[in-house]
Structure 1
Amino acid sequence: MKLRDELPVDHHLATVYRYGAGFCGLVLLLFAALGFADALSPFDTAGDTIAGMTTNVALSVISTVVGLALLVGAAIGGNVASTLNMTIGTLFVLSGFAHVFVLDRPANILDFGMTNVIFSFAMGLLIATFGMYGRVSSKLSHDNPYWRRRHPEQAAREREAAAAPAGPPEARALSAGKDTEDADRRRVLD
């Protein structure tokens, strides 16, 4: 099964994906703007801090690109924003793990400190949560489009049951084309 086959189109969950991507994109752009305003050299690891985190121009450029990508996803909305949020969130978490191992080493070209690592984990989980909202759970409600896509037979039965005419059980059974013993008995007596 492909991911695009699981995604419903034009659902109210799209606003969660859209606003989540927009909010996180703006936070990253703000951090990048503050980094550019300090005018550090591209790969400087002198330890200058902005908003409590160390930064350099390279990290500001990456933050700008990712922030703009999230804003584009927010503008497009829907399934694109959801998938983009999950992807970028995962990359943030992986970046946090990678930078834990390069702290205080020459390979730390983005000048990550421990606060950057914690921010990377927190922002990654926040972005991924916005992307997975309403998609990933063991207890999705039956009106959720992701649940309906994953359980097509049961969703079809529930739609048929909801569309069935109201009335006594015998009438519902007959209208659905299913005879019950009670319905047979009543026909014989009539």
Structure 2
Amino acid sequence: MDLDTSHNADRRLAAVHRFGTAFIGLVLVGFGVTSLFVRLPLFDTRGEVVAGLSTNGALGFVSVAVGSLLVGAAVVGGTYSSTVSTLVGAGFVASGLVNLYLMSTDYNILAFSMPNVIFSFVVGILMLTVGMYGRFTGGLPEDNPYRRHRERRRSLRRGTAPAGAAR
């Protein structure tokens, strides 16, 4: 297999991880700031509708915090951005499941409604896709940085490090 040396695989993957993470982070920060400007009660279980989603003060704060984490991860980039995106995506899917159950109870402290649950699932799947892109598959190309890292670790374990690899 001939490697494409005109493009750096690390930069292409970093761009996907960074831009995807930053975009979703900015959307969350925008939603959170908008819902905080409405000055809703902190733990109101019914909430008010902002941008099509039910929200209260607590959900506004959580949205700003998670969005800021994602934007920060995008600034750092690389594997950190990928890992944070994957973990946050799994958290969104889990949040959607938990809040689907809590939606009709008095414990709905984030004022979730069905559009919020659907949003959590969609954002969670998007974040998982962005975080896992080019990282978790068996058929990675030879110039993929994650494949090179795995092969380097594997050869160090066997004691047959390739030329130029640090022990």
Place the TM-score, normalised by the shorter chain, in its bin.
0.7 to 0.9
* TM-score normalised by the chain length of structure 1: 0.72
CA shift, 1:41, in A, is 0.5
- Supply the AA of the counterpart residue of 1:107: Y
What's the offset of the Cα at 1:83? 0.8
Bigger radius of gyration, 1 or 2?
1
1:29 is matched with: 29
CA distance in 2, matches of 1:36, 1:143: 45
In structure 2, what is the Cα distance between the partners aligned to 1:18 and 1:150? 22
- TM-score when normalising by structure 2: 0.81
Corresponding residue SS for 1:49 = strand
Equivalent residue of 2:10, what SS? coil
The aligned amino acid for 1:16 is V
Q: Which residue of 2 aligns with 1:7?
A: none
Residue 71 of structure 1 and its aligned partner are, at CA, apart by 0.8
Deviations 1:2-27, CA, capped at 9 Å, x for gaps: xxxxxxxx921112111111101100
Cα-to-partner distance string for 1:98-150 (whole Å, 9 max, x where unaligned): 11111110111101001100100110111121111100123222221222333
Aligned partner letter, 2:81: A
Matched, 1:75 2:86: no
**Unaligned stretches of 5+ in structure 1?**
1-9, 161-190
For 1:102 and 1:109, how far apart are their aligned partners in 2? 9
Measure the CA separation in 1 of the matches of 2:145 and 2:134.
9
- Match of residue 10 from structure 2: 11
Aligned residues: 147
* 1:143 alignment partner in structure 2: 143
* Partners of 1:110 and 1:35 in 2: CA distance: 12
SS at match of 1:11: helix
Could you list the per-position Cα deviations for residues 50-105 of structure 1 after superposition, in whole angstroms to 9, with x for gaps in the alignment? 11110000000000000000111111111111111111111111101111111110
Q: Distance in 2 between matches of 1:35 and 1:98?
A: 22
Matched letter for residue 30 of structure 1? G
| Conserved? CA contact 2:10–2:144, under 8 Å | no
Q: How far apart are the structure 2 equivalents of 1:69 and 1:95?
A: 17
